[in-house]
Amino acid sequence: MTGICDGRVVAVTGAGRGLGRAHALAFAAEGARLVVNDLGTGLDGTPDPDSPAAQVAEEIRAAGGQAVPHGGDIATTDGAASLVRTALETYGRLDTLVNNAGFLRDRMLVNLDEDDWDAVVRVHLTGHFLPLKHAAAHWRAEAKAGRPPVARIVNTSSGAGLLGSVGQANYSAAKAGILALTLVAAAELARYGVQVNAIAPAARTRMTEQVFAESMTAPDTGFDPMSPHNVSPLVVWLGSEASAGVTGRVFEAEGGRITVMNGWRRGPTAEKHARWTPQDAGKTARKLTEQTDPPEPVYGEQL
């Protein structure tokens, strides 16, 4: 029996642990051939001497699948280019890119150092942009050579990027940037046969184990709603040919729940064909806010 990704070549960044590992295993179970990327850093981005990429690749091979490890830094041009090159040199093609790598350096805004800001934005936002750019360049070349791909990109945002999260200004800003990057990439790359979507997952990983400390496994069914493996089926479908026609979308995924996010939409509007005074602009803005729903609370906000 073949899976929905049979024969596809999938590169997953940050695939050594947590969500990335779950995604890689799920893709392999559906017949995909994997490039398992992980730099092997700690939670704060410092080097980890025991990089897990090779371990996950071996786990896939032991189960009868195909996988190769990649230890490059995908937030650099050379590392991102080598990720794509590894897929092409190993398997002769690349069909799906899952951008997942990241780490945290949480601080309240007044305590957030510039280095902590730069490091988190680099790994999350630049770490999405560069692999996306190099994969897209390959797919554009294929399309122009008369070999249009059926390509997929799945980006990883967060509820912090959708709503904000107290103590995570750097992370929230980077994850919000990923949403905008997803929309632009979906619009620009559609002509080359590339679909681009994003997920905002909630699961128990190294980054969230304090938030989701309790297992919460239902004793009657054995279902653990915080397991990262619950998110992967949607990612696998988005990365497959079966998702044809779905692009530029953002999905929340948690436990057994999937939600399509509507994003920013224009609400109540007021217009006059003249310049507003500050007083009139303020009066009008206040009236408009009273005509719409209040924003969703920021994660961690004291209400």
Query: From CA 162, how far away is CA 179, in angstroms rounded?
Result: 8
Q: Residue 36 contacts by C-beta under 8 Å, 6 or more apart in sequence? A: 12, 15, 16, 24, 53, 54, 56, 57, 60, 67, 68, 69, 70
Per the structure block, which two tokens stand in for 260?
Answer: 């399509």
Pairing of strands 257-260, 250-254: antiparallel
Radius of gyration of the chain (CA): 21
Q: Which residues are catalytic?
A: 158, 171, 175
Query: From CA 2, how far away is CA 8, in angstroms rounded?
Result: 12
Q: Residue 83 contacts by C-beta under 8 Å, 6 or more apart in sequence? A: 11, 13, 35, 37, 70, 72, 74, 131, 134
Query: From CA 5, how far away is CA 93, in angstroms rounded?
Result: 14
Q: How does DSSP assign 44-64, residue by residue?
A: TS-B-SS--HHHHHHHHHHTT
| Residue type (1 letter), 245 | G
Q: Which residues pair with 10 in a beta bridge?
A: 34, 96
Contact in structure between 134 and 126 (CB atoms under 8 Å): no
Query: From CA 16, how far away is CA 38, in angstroms rounded?
Result: 5
